[in-house]
Amino acid sequence: MPHERRTSDAADRELGDSARVRILRGAAHVFGRLGYAATSVEGILARAEVSRRTFYKHFRSKEDVLRVLFENSVGMLLSAVRDEERTARSARERLSASVEAYVRVQARAGPLARVLLLEQFSPDSPLAAQRDAAMAAFTALITEAIAREGRTPPDAILVHGVVAAINQIAVQMAAEYPDCDWDVKRAKTAMLRILVALDERVDPSAWPT
């Protein structure tokens, strides 16, 4: 009916950008509780308390919502690490603080972190492109940090391998601690041990074969 249409349109306008935030928050809760496969658009609508019409004004599908949540998560991780890298402390202190910041952002993400970490590696993952972009961003971040210290950046394939290993530790943490009460010290220590591989003073090519 015309009156009902006007009421719905007015409500949607009143929500404005906040509707998008509500959808993302609602989806984060439902994805975290049910996982990606079991989550439906209807479940997101119910949690976010928005209409289907409002949902499709902001997103094309639940896959679209998942991609945005993943991109937001990567953005927060990069920001946390960059903030620590900008400090005036020693290189070792910055590295330690950066790794801890990375771990704590993941841990604070709650059950959603587990879904995002695991889903990015699933067959035909909707996050494949975003995962590759995130890997490239973290590879560049580490390479830039090493160059700022006046050191020769290591082979890109080594940096990429280190980033992949760090990501795998996060995946393992998410699997072992599904409620995201991560063992921060354990994860941090493991990641720092892996980052030692980027120290050019350790040269395995000189080891006996």
pLDDT of residue 131: 94
Domain with CATH 1.10.357.10 in the chain: 63-200
pLDDT of residue 181: 81
CB atoms inside a 10 Å sphere around CB 191: 22
Average pLDDT score over the chain: 87
pLDDT of residue 87: 85
pLDDT for 8 beyond 80? no
Confidence grade of residue 165 (pLDDT, cut at 50, 70, 90):
very high
Q: How far is CA 184 from CA 13, 49, 84, 117, 187, in A?
A: 43, 35, 17, 16, 5
**What CATH class is the domain 63-200?**
mainly alpha
Domain with CATH 1.10.10 in the chain: 2-59
Q: For 46-85, what is each residue's pLDDT tens digit?
A: 999 999 999 999 999 999 999 999 999 999 999 999 999 8
Q: Which CATH architecture has domain 2-59?
A: Orthogonal Bundle (1.10)
pTM of the predicted structure, to 2 decimals:
0.84
CA distance 77 to 105: 6
pLDDT for 6 beyond 50? no
